[in-house]
């Protein structure tokens, strides 16, 4: 079976590195492989990828095991998508029946799924800068940007989110500055947030060491569980009381200042800075505690510490039941604080927050690109997702719908002035009926972030659809392939953008990738680099927005492109599940997460793809409620010295 584009180059070579020489390919998890699967590959695949011919260097008659590594799994994911979308085998070759195709797909799914009951493992997570700021604000009432002392968050991990644990390091310079920063924050805190208990005087009117100690213990008993997001032990309080006792012995020391120093130490502790979770010995998965689950929920939905209601649900144990989790999810989604989920998730998923950092069109080259427009463009997908979450709308609206969220700036940009009161502040949901708008692919921010500084780019837009919606990214271009020329020597024109790309595709090194990328991008050429509707291209030519995919499907313009994407809605919804699950877990997804993704997609489909169902199902999922120890950790290192309540 011929594997196009992204398998022929980088992916194929990586996968072939895992081929184990041998004539028999019988996965242990499928005893019927020889009778049921091998004959199908022999009939429909080996003519291009067998002993006699190896297109793209891929020989499926060799031993190539799914589950060997992440790279191998990605290769089989690609093969599965080709089968499911009926792109392969090519139209001119013999085709499997529907039953045979489903049998192949089901086998790949089984082979790729990890062992049941494995929730995966996540590195201990430092608070991101945003989480730190929001936590300090909720805990101390201090606004601003105190997280300036933290290392910059790195969104380079799997999935591209800045809350992934493996990218959240702590530098030695940061540790040196942390205590000073914490002291400053405590000094700025509202007194009622600190709850400092003053020592009582004895009958003689004196303050004794014993009454001081009692006051500090009471102060810490009220403050620490909030700051550390869990109950604390007597030994943890005692350790900080010793710090107080040293501080109060300083010349001119007063009780209030000494307690504030202790609070600053508590805020400099890993118990505050990190989302610490206790470990249990053994290799089996185990549930996180009620307080740890409360913390997971709070930072997933609100990017901050648990509130009183969430803490109470942890204390009475109700949070450990599906009903308790569901009740808290419903409550938290109705809270205004949930807006931060949309802000943090969709901008990083779609890449539209890159506009705030200078990515996309160049304002000096593209007329009409103002700071005000850029802010509105960045805000649109956030408002869109927030609307879906609060109204429990269908996530299919991300693909196509008959409405947009616009403010006055964006309404003018889209030509919707008659529909929006220009004097009304904020965003408004507006109905559209011509199909030009609706869904993420027609949002100005997406169209801008997928453009060159001076023009549109069908290649970047097509790649964006494959990668961010269909989870089918093409491989990097071959080495030494030059950029698409803009003009010939002396400034002579080289034809329209479409003509230049057609000549580029004539290069055998470029054909297979661009056959899949370019048509999708051409479907969006009716939008300029800022997402404005147009009928002529940059050189005044009438636009040709038609496209033909390798499987023979044709379309023209964004309206038909969105219909084509809607036919692949389950794949796109799977991408949404994968991305939000990764964001919620703070790690890239692994083989062990495949069954969880499949279960969440099935639950979503059964509930008409409702947005709140996605959040609820993630919160109820195995990897969100359970954990396991890393395979390399010695058991002795996984036992805490003193059990916590």
Domain boundary among 47, 77, 112: 112
* CB 146 within 8 Å of CB 133: yes
Rounded to whole angstroms, the Cα distance separating 518 from 457 reads: 9
Give exposure, 181-212, as e/b (b: 16+ Cβ within 10 Å): bbbebbeebeeeebebbebeeeeeeeeeeeeb
Return the structure tokens found at 213.
């100690």
Q: Provide the pLDDT for residue 32.
A: 64
Are residues 295 and 206 part of one domain? Answer: no
Q: Is residue 492 part of a domain?
A: no
Q: Which value, to the nearest 10 degrees, does the dihedral of the CA atoms of residues 626, 629, 635, 638 take? A: -70
Rounded to whole angstroms, the Cα distance separating 56 from 478 reads: 13
pLDDT tens-digit map of 194-252:
999 999 988 888 899 999 999 999 999 999 999 999 999 999 999 999 999 999 999 99
Are residues 618 and 541 part of one domain? Answer: no
* CB 582 within 8 Å of CB 588: yes
| Sign of the alpha-carbon torsion through 227, 228, 232, 235 | negative
Q: Provide the pLDDT for residue 418.
A: 57
Are residues 398 and 513 part of one domain? Answer: yes
Domain boundary among 243, 273, 303: 273
| Sign of the alpha-carbon torsion through 333, 603, 160, 82 | negative
pLDDT tens-digit map of 498-521:
777 777 566 666 666 777 888 999
Q: Kindly list the distances between the CA atom of residue 306 and the CA atoms of 263, 314, 431, in Å, as whole numbers in the listed order.
A: 19, 10, 37
Are residues 391 and 293 part of one domain? Answer: no
Q: Report the pLDDT averaged over residues 258-271.
A: 96
Domain boundary among 537, 566, 595: 566
Which of left, alpha, beta for 433 (phi over 0: left; psi -120 to 50: alpha)? alpha
Of the ranges 63-67, 113-117, 530-534, the best mean pLDDT one: 530-534
Q: Provide the pLDDT for residue 460.
A: 95
Rounded to whole angstroms, the Cα distance separating 448 from 361 reads: 6
Q: Which of 118, 55, 72 is nearest to 283 (CA)?
A: 118
Q: Is residue 643 part of a domain?
A: no
Return the structure tokens found at 299.
């930072």
Q: Is residue 326 part of a domain?
A: yes
Q: Are strands 286-287 and 403-406 parallel, antiparallel or unpaired?
A: unpaired
Burial of 573 (0-12, 13-18, 19+ CB in 10 A): buried
Are residues 583 and 518 part of one domain? Answer: no
- Whether the per-residue pLDDT at 484 is higher than 60: the answer is yes
Are residues 470 and 428 part of one domain? Answer: yes
Q: Is residue 167 part of a domain?
A: yes
Rounded to whole angstroms, the Cα distance separating 277 from 288 reads: 8
Are residues 390 and 307 part of one domain? Answer: no
- Return all residues near 41 (Cβ < 8 A) that are at least 6 apart: 1, 60, 61, 104
* Helices 290-301/611-620 angle, 10° precision: 150
Q: Kindly list the distances between the CA atom of residue 340 and the CA atoms of 45, 176, 379, 426, 477, in Å, as whole numbers in the listed order.
A: 48, 30, 12, 16, 36
Are residues 458 and 350 part of one domain? Answer: yes
Rounded to whole angstroms, the Cα distance separating 491 from 333 reads: 56
pLDDT tens-digit map of 131-186:
999 999 999 999 999 998 887 887 554 567 999 998 888 888 788 888 889 999 99
Q: Is residue 485 part of a domain?
A: no
Q: Is residue 139 part of a domain?
A: yes
Within 10 A of 69 (CB to CB), how many other CB atoms are there? Answer: 15
Q: Provide the pLDDT for residue 505.
A: 63
Are residues 154 and 233 part of one domain? Answer: yes
Are residues 297 and 386 part of one domain? Answer: no
Instruction: Give me the residue label for tokens 């040196």.
Output: 176
Q: Provide the pLDDT for residue 79.
A: 81
Are residues 408 and 514 part of one domain? Answer: yes
Rounded to whole angstroms, the Cα distance separating 89 from 428 reads: 47
Based on the structure, what is the number of domains in the chain? 5
Are residues 577 and 558 part of one domain? Answer: no
User: pLDDT higher for 282 or 322?
Assistant: 322
Query: According to the 3-state scheme, what is the secondary structure of 467-494?
Result: HHHCCCCCCCCCCCCCCCCCCCHHHCCC
Domain that holds residue 400: 341-475+498-566
Rounded to whole angstroms, the Cα distance separating 215 from 258 reads: 12
Q: Which value, to the nearest 10 degrees, does the dihedral of the CA atoms of residues 355, 361, 364, 368 take? A: -90
Q: Indicate the pLDDT class of residue 407, thresholds 50, 70 and 90.
A: very high
C-alpha radius of gyration, the chain, whole number:
28
Rounded to whole angstroms, the Cα distance separating 88 from 79 reads: 8
* CB 380 within 8 Å of CB 443: yes
Element (H, E) at 509: helix 508-522
Q: Is residue 101 part of a domain?
A: yes
Rounded to whole angstroms, the Cα distance separating 434 from 432 reads: 6
Q: Is residue 559 part of a domain?
A: yes
Q: Report the pLDDT averaged over residues 367-374.
A: 96
pLDDT tens-digit map of 459-481:
999 999 999 999 888 877 766 66
φ, ψ dihedrals at 443, nearest 5°: -75, 140
């Amino acid at each position: 079976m011929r594997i196009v584009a992204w398998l022929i180059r980088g992916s194929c070579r990586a996968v072939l590195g895992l081929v184990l020489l041998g004539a028999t390919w019988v996965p242990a998890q499928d005893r019927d492989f020889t009778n049921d699967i091998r004959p199908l590959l022999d009939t429909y695949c080996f003519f291009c990828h067998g002993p006699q011919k190896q297109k793209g260097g891929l020989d499926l008659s060799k031993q190539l095991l799914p589950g060997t590594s992440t790279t191998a799994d990605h290769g089989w994911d690609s093969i599965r998508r080709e089968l499911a979308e009926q792109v392969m085998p090519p139209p001119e070759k013999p085709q499997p029946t529907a039953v045979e195709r489903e049998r192949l797909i089901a086998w790949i799914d089984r082979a790729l799924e990890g062992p049941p009951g494995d929730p995966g493992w996540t590195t201990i997570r430092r608070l991101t800068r945003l989480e730190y700021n929001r936590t300090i604000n909720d805990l101390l009432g201090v606004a601003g940007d105190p997280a300036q002392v933290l290392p910059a968050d790195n969104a380079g991990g799997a999935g591209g989110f800045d809350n992934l644990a493996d990218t959240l390091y702590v530098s030695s310079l940061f540790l040196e500055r942390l205590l000073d920063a914490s002291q400053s924050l405590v000094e700025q805190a509202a007194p009622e947030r600190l709850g400092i208990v003053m020592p009582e005087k004895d009958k003689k009117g004196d303050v004794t060491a014993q009454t001081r100690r009692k006051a500090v213990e009471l102060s810490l008993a009220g403050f620490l569980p909030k700051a550390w997001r869990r109950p604390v032990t007597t030994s943890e309080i005692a350790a900080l009381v010793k710090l107080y006792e040293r501080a109060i012995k300083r010349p001119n020391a007063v009780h209030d200042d000494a307690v504030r120093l202790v609070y600053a130490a508590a805020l400099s502790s890993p118990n505050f800075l990190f989302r610490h979770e206790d470990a249990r010995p053994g290799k089996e998965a185990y549930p996180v505690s009620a307080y740890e689950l409360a913390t997971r929920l709070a930072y997933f939905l609100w990017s901050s510490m648990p509130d009183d209601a969430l803490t109470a649900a942890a204390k009475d144990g109700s949070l450990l039941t599906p009903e308790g989790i569901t009740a808290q999810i419903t409550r938290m989604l109705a809270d205004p604080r949930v807006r931060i989920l949309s802000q943090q998730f969709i901008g990083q998923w779609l890449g539209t927050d890159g506009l705030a950092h200078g990515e996309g069109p160049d304002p000096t080259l593209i007329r009409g690109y103002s700071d005000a427009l850029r802010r509105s463009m960045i805000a649109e997908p956030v408002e869109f997702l927030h609307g879906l979450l609060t109204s429990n709308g269908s996530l299919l609206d991300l693909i196509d719908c008959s409405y947009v969220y616009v403010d006055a700036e964006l309404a003018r940009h889209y030509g919707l002035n008659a529909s929006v009161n220009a004097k009304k502040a904020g965003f408004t949901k507006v109905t559209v009926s011509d199909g030009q708008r609706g869904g993420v692919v027609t949002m100005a921010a997406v169209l801008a972030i997928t453009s060159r500084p001076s023009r549109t780019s069908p290649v970047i837009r097509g790649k964006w659809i494959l990668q961010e919606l269909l989870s089918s990214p093409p491989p990097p271009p071959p080495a030494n392939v030059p950029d698409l020329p803009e003009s010939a020597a002396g400034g002579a024109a080289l034809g329209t953008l479409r003509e230049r790309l057609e000549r580029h595709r004539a290069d055998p090194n470029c054909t297979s990738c661009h056959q899949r990328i370019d048509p999708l991008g051409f479907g969006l050429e009716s939008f300029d680099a800022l997402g404005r509707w147009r009928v002529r291209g940059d050189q005044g030519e009438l636009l040709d927005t038609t496209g033909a995919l390798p499987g023979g499907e044709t379309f023209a313009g964004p309206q038909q492109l969105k219909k084509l994407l809607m036919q692949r809605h389950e794949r796109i919804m799977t991408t949404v599940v994968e991305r939000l699950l990764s964001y919620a877990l703070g790690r890239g997804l692994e083989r062990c997460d495949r069954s969880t993704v499949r279960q969440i997609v099935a639950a979503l489909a059964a509930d008409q793809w409702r947005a709140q169902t996605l959040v609820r199902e993630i919160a109820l999922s195995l990897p969100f409620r359970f954990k396991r120890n890393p395979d390399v950790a010695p058991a002795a290192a996984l036992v805490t010295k003193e059990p916590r309540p």
